[in-house]
Amino acid sequence: MGETMIGIIGGSGVYDIDGLEGAEWRRVESPWGEASDEILFGTLGGVKMAFLPRHGRGHVQSPSSINYRANIDALKRAGVTDVISVSACGSFREEMAPGDFVVVDQFIDRTFAREKSFFGPGCVAHVSVAHPTCPRLGAAVTEAAKAEGIRVHRGGTYLCMEGPQFSSQAESLLYREVWKCDVVGMTNMPEAKLAREAELCYASVAMITDYDSWHPGHDAVDVAAVVAVLSGNAEKARGLVRRLPGLLGPERAPCPHGCDRALEHALITAPAQRAPALLAKLDAVAGRVL
Ligand SMILES: CSC[C@H]1O[C@H](OP(=O)(O)O)[C@H](O)[C@@H]1O
Ligand SMILES: Nc1ncnc2[nH]cnc12
């Protein structure tokens, strides 16, 4: 039995969390470069917490400039076991209205200008992302949202676009009507894939801010519309986070879905052929199996 450390990745509008005992911002060095910001450490209800603002305090990183590898590596290196992302998203469903939360369970990755793996020449690995989110964590997040009185939908497909521009109406209709996606954002990929490579449980909460640009009864999304809904959503997200320690507890059993053993059969490079420089960088992410 290990110790739980809950990692929260805060998206647009969520640049800190409150109520942590012994709260302290600390930089975590990573061989993968600079994380988006320092990490806020502390405890909540006796459970260790680590909070990282995805875009940095003051929102300085764009979806394409975020160093997702450094962020996930820094969280893993700091001892995080479970990662919960809270993200501002557009909705493709009438019933997933601005102000609602959606506990995402699937992704379509349309990003193309990001580093997507910790592995590569000298140490090749292929993890499964058939089920990219952890159902145990998703259940806890759903329960936390319900306990906070948030309108929450369990399950949904998140279309991750490169951005930074919002979608054209034709893209919005394609994602909604042909691909049957539920929400759209710019950041959960490759974050979720990297969390899986790092053997971290990952859940994602989409905080709906708008109807993107498909809805005949609503203007196409812009930042002003997102920000108008964001502050209320951010308060709800903080309430949700405060409920998590009570639901997850300080002691952590192995993940029943195997997220924490994702690398068990993923490495394919022959041990004698593995590149020492890459292995050194993989110490936190893959040290368990190397
Ligand atoms: C400010 S609107 C677009 C911006 O908001 C979302 O960020 P996050 O996923 O970190 O909450 C979206 O992905 C874009 O980065
Ligand atoms: N409509 C939208 N598209 C992409 N990212 C978003 N973040 C919030 N709303 C969004």
CA pair distance 188, 92, nearest whole angstrom: 17
Each residue's pLDDT tens digit, 230-272: 888 889 999 999 999 999 999 999 999 999 999 999 999 999 9
CA pair distance 177, 103, nearest whole angstrom: 20
User: Which residue ranges make up the annotated binding site for phosphate?
Assistant: 12, 54-55, 87-88, 187
Residue 222's contacts (CB-CB under 8 Å, 6 or more residues apart) are 166
* Ligand with the closest atom to the CA of 204: 1
- Mean pLDDT over 154-169 rounds to 98
287 falls within a domain: no
Nearest CA residue ID for atom 4, ligand 2: 185
- Mean pLDDT over 33-45 rounds to 98
Nearest CA residue ID for atom 9, ligand 1: 87
Backbone angles phi, psi at 264, to 5 degrees: -50, -45
290 falls within a domain: no
- Mean pLDDT over 184-196 rounds to 98
What average pLDDT does the structure give for the chain? 97
Task: Please give the ipTM for the structure prediction.
Answer: 0.99
The token pair that represents 96 in the structure block: 């997933």
- Mean pLDDT over 125-144 rounds to 98
Mutate to test the pocket of ligand 2, among 62, 184, 208 (most ligand atoms within 8 A of CB): 184
The residue type found at 81 is: T
The residue type found at 242 is: R
State the closest ligand 1 atom to the C-alpha of 227, by its place in the atom list counted from 1: 1
State the closest ligand 1 atom to the C-alpha of 209, by its place in the atom list counted from 1: 2
Each residue's pLDDT tens digit, 95-107: 999 999 999 999 9
Task: Report pLDDT for 231.
Answer: 84
Q: What SS3 class is residue 249? A: coil
Name every protein residue with a CB atom under 6 angstroms from any ligand 1 atom. Answer: 11-12, 54-55, 63, 87-88, 163, 185-187, 223, 226
Least confident range from 8-17, 151-160, 222-231, 267-276: namely 222-231
101 falls within a domain: yes
How many Cβ atoms are within 10 Å of 41's Cβ, its own excluded? 19
Nearest CA residue ID for atom 10, ligand 1: 11
The token pair that represents 94 in the structure block: 């009438």
Task: Report pLDDT for 15.
Answer: 96
> Nearest-CA neighbor of 123 among 289, 253, 271, 285?
271
259 falls within a domain: yes
How many structural domains compose the chain?
A: 1
Distance from the alpha carbon of residue 17 to the mean position of ligand 1, in angstroms: 18
CA pair distance 289, 84, nearest whole angstrom: 24
The residue type found at 29 is: E
169 falls within a domain: yes
Domain that holds residue 133: 2-281
Please, what sign has the CA dihedral across residues 209, 214, 218, 219? positive
Check: CB of residue 157 under 8 Å from CB of residue 91.
no
Task: Report pLDDT for 141.
Answer: 98
Task: Report pLDDT for 66.
Answer: 98
Nearest CA residue ID for atom 5, ligand 2: 185
Residue 132's contacts (CB-CB under 8 Å, 6 or more residues apart) are 105, 106, 107, 192, 193, 196, 202
Flag whether pLDDT at 1 surpasses 80: no
- Mean pLDDT over 183-188 rounds to 98
Distance from the alpha carbon of residue 103 to the mean position of ligand 2, in angstroms: 16
Q: What is the CATH number of the domain that holds 181?
A: 3.40.50.1580
